[in-house]
């Protein structure tokens, strides 16, 4: 019986020389004290996670407001600067409450400077356009990204929530590759399987960073048919449904890197066991169909 398995070794971030772990840790719910923040960051590093994903808009729904997740991350790094050398930092810009999307040159120039200042770092490893700004030509966006790299503020560039056509339009004006794309992906959100997102990533050698890999937590509920199958699969390998859900994404040939959003050290550590879970084709497709609520043709 053929078993799909996960390579636990670090891999290149797209066509860059940046090595990242097969899991990422996301900070869209990162808030609270510096001490608590440091505990979470260190839990991720201790679990072997080296890719940290944030965005300037994270924290907008908290009293601390826009930019607060980056600022808290910066406080952690200021308190423990030795952690910086152990991680790859990714952030995103392009969403502003009330706008809602901005990617014009003046805006991105200020956005990247603000992100650097909040995190108190000299260079961002991966800068991503968070969502497409329909009112800015991709040539202007490409020029801004090129300038960030040329100025030494950014090592590599990527996109988030972009369609394959939007990726193609931006890449057409860039001299260097888009190294990553960040779609929502889970058994409950399977659009990237069908809309060309994963196919384009494999064809171009782009890294796929999958957000909401647990379907907003619904896949940890055994009452959901997909959640029940994931719990069964996890039990075979000594892990829970959440960890099995991460592995479900990771065995896809696009080598998807799920972004773990847990704010609990034990859950972050448990996520690292996803690399131990194997899948047969039949098991993987059973979860897919349960998630879609329909059989495949």
Give dist(CA 159, CA 131) in Å, integer. Answer: 8
Give dist(CA 144, CA 274) in Å, integer. Answer: 37
Active site residues: 58
Determine if residue 161 is left, alpha or beta; phi over 0 gives left, psi from -120 to 50 gives alpha, anything else beta: left
Q: In the structure encoding, which two tokens stand for residue 1, read together?
A: 């019986």
Question: Tokens 């860059």, residue?
Answer: 16
Q: In the structure encoding, which two tokens stand for residue 266, read together?
A: 């034990």
156 forms beta bridges with 126
Give dist(CA 96, CA 53) in Å, integer. Answer: 18
Give dist(CA 135, CA 133) in Å, integer. Answer: 5
């Amino acid at each position: 019986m053929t078993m799909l398995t996960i390579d636990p070794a670090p891999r290149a971030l797209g066509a860059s020389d940046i090595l990242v772990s097969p899991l990422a840790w996301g900070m869209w719910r990162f808030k609270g004290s510096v001490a608590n923040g440091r505990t979470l960051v260190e839990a991720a590093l201790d679990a072997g996670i080296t890719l940290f994903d944030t965005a300037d808009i994270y924290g907008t729904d908290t009293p601390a407001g826009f930019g607060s997740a980056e600022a808290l991350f910066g406080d952690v790094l200021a308190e423990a600067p030795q952690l910086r050398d152990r991680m790859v930092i990714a952030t995103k810009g392009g969403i502003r409450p009330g706008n809602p999307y901005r990617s014009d040159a003046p805006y991105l120039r200020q956005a990247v400077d603000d992100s650097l200042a909040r995190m108190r770092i000299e260079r961002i490893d991966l800068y991503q356009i968070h969502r497409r700004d329909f009112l800015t030509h991709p040539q202007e966006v490409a020029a801004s990204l090129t300038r960030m790299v040329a100025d030494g503020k950014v090592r590599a560039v990527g996109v988030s929530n972009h369609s394959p056509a939007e990726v193609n339009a931006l890449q057409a004006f860039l001299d260097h590759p888009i190294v990553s794309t960040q779609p929502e992906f889970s058994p409950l959100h399977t659009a990237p399987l069908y809309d060309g997102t994963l196919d384009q990533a494999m064809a171009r050698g782009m890294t796929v960073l999958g957000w909401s890999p647990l379907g907003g937590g619904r896949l940890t509920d055994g009452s959901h048919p997909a959640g029940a199958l994931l719990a069964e699969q996890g039990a075979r390998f000594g892990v829970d449904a959440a960890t099995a859900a991460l592995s479900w994404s990771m065995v896809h040939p696009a080598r998807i890197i799920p972004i773990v959003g847990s704010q609990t050290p034990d859950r972050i550590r448990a996520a690292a066991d996803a690399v131990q879970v194997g899948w047969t084709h039949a098991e993987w497709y059973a979860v897919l169909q349960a998630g879609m609520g329909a059989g495949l043709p």
